[in-house]
Amino acid sequence: MPDSTAVRAFLTDSHLALATRVTEYAAQELVSLPEPQDDAAARAQARELLARLGHAGWFAPIGNLDLRAACLVREALAAASPLADAVFALQALGTVPILLAGDRELKNRWVPAALAGRAMASFALTEAEAGSDAAAIATTARREGVGYVLTGTKTFISNAGVADFYTVFASTDPARRNKGISAFVVAADAPGLTFVRPLVLSAPHPLGEIAFQDCRVPASSRLGAEGEGFKLGLATLDRLRATVAAAACGMASRALHEAVGHATRRRQFGRSLAEFQLIQEKLARMATDLTAARLLTYRAAWEKDRGAERVTLEAAMAKAFATEAAQRIVDDAVQILGGRGVLASHPVERLYRAVRTLRIYEGTTEIQHLIVAEQLLKRALGTV
C-alpha cells in the first residue's frame, strides 16, 4: 500500500500526517467495498462515494490548490478503490477551473458544494473528433442577448448523467481555433442539456455522452474572458496531471503489495515463489519502477506548490512514466499470481482493468512524450 518514505523530501510534516490519515481511511472504509456489477450500480456507488469522501474532508486539497496533498489522497484512494479515485479526479477537474477563473458568484454557488461532496462535477472537453486535438472542438457557444446558446455533443465524459454541473469548453469563434475557445459552468438541469447515453468501460466508471441543443446559459457562467477557455483547460490539466501519476502509483503499490504477499505464501516445487530468482527479478523491477514513478510525481507536485508558474515538462514526465510503469507492475502482479490474478474476485484483476485508462485520459502517453520533447527543444533553443 502507499508508502511516503521514498518521497518524504518533497513533503512537509502536514503532508506526511495527511498520508497516514488517508491511507488508514482507505484501508478501513474503501478496500472492502464490492465492485459494482453494472453501469447503473457504478453510477450509484460513485454518488455514494462522493458524499462519503466529502463528509470525510478528502476534497479539501482541491480547494486549497495543494497539489502534493491531492496526489497523496489520489494515491491512497486508487490503491483501495479505483472508482473512489475517479470520483476525486473529476471533482478536481470540474472545480479547479472555477477556482482559477470563476467570479465570486460561480465560486460561491459550486465550490463549497463540490468540496463537501454535495455537488458532483464533470469536465466536458472531449468530442468525437476532438480528443488529443482539443482545439478541434465543434461545440459552439453563440452570443445571444445577455447570454450564450450552446450547441454540440460531448463524448467520453466522466460523470455524464450523474454530475450536478459540467465545466464545458465550446468555441465562441471557430475561425480562431484554440484562441476562440471559451469555458462555461453549466448546471445539469439547464434547459437544452441532455444525457444522451452511457458508455460502458471494462472497469466500473460513470462515462457517457451529453448534448447541448440550443442550451441557454447566462454570460455570468463563463469562466474568464472569451477565448481564454483553451488556456484555462491547459492550465487545469498542467496542474492536475501529476495527480494522475499519483493514482497510477497507488494502483501499482496495491499490485506490488498483493504480489509480494502471494509470493511469500504460495509454494511450488517445495518452496515459496519468493525463493525463485525469476520472481525476485520481477519484484525488484516492480519496486524500482514504482519508486521512480513516485519521485517524478512528487517532484512535479512540489515544483507547482512552491510557486512554479508551469510544470508542463515535469508533469508530462511524471504522467508518462508513472502510468506506463503502473501498467507493467500490474501486469507482472497478474503473472505472479497466476490463475488467481485473473479471477474477477481478486483486487489485482480489478486493477488490471482500471489501470489501462490512465495511459489515455488527460493526455495519452504519446502526447506526453511530444510535450516533453517540445519543452526540451524549446529550452535548447532558448525559447522558453
Catalytic residue among 303, 324, 362, 374: 362
Ramachandran assignment for 363, one of left (phi > 0), alpha (psi -120 to 50 degrees), beta (any other): left
Q: Cell match 490463475: residue?
A: 339
Least Cα distance to 59 among 124, 115, 110, 109 occurs for: 115
Give residues with Cβ within 8 angstroms of 267, minimum separation 6. 273
On the CB side of 122, CA atoms within 13 Å amount to 30
User: How do strand 207-218 and strand 147-158 relate by DSSP bridges?
Assistant: antiparallel
Q: Distance between CA 150 and CA 140 in Å, rounded?
A: 6
C-alpha cell at 102: 470563476
Q: DSSP character for 173?
A: -
- Residues 239/188, Cβ–Cβ less than 8 Å: no
C-alpha cell at 324: 506506463
- In the residue annotation, 362 being an active-site residue is answered as yes
- Residues 210/160, Cβ–Cβ less than 8 Å: yes
**DSSP letter string over 121-167?**
EEEE--BTTBSS-GGG---EEEEETTEEEEEEEEEEEETTTT-SEEE
Least Cα distance to 245 among 301, 304, 329, 311 occurs for: 301
Q: Distance between CA 341 and CA 252 in Å, rounded?
A: 14
Helix (H, G, I), strand (E, B) or coil at 183: strand
Q: Distance between CA 349 and CA 139 in Å, rounded?
A: 38
- Cite the active site residues: 362
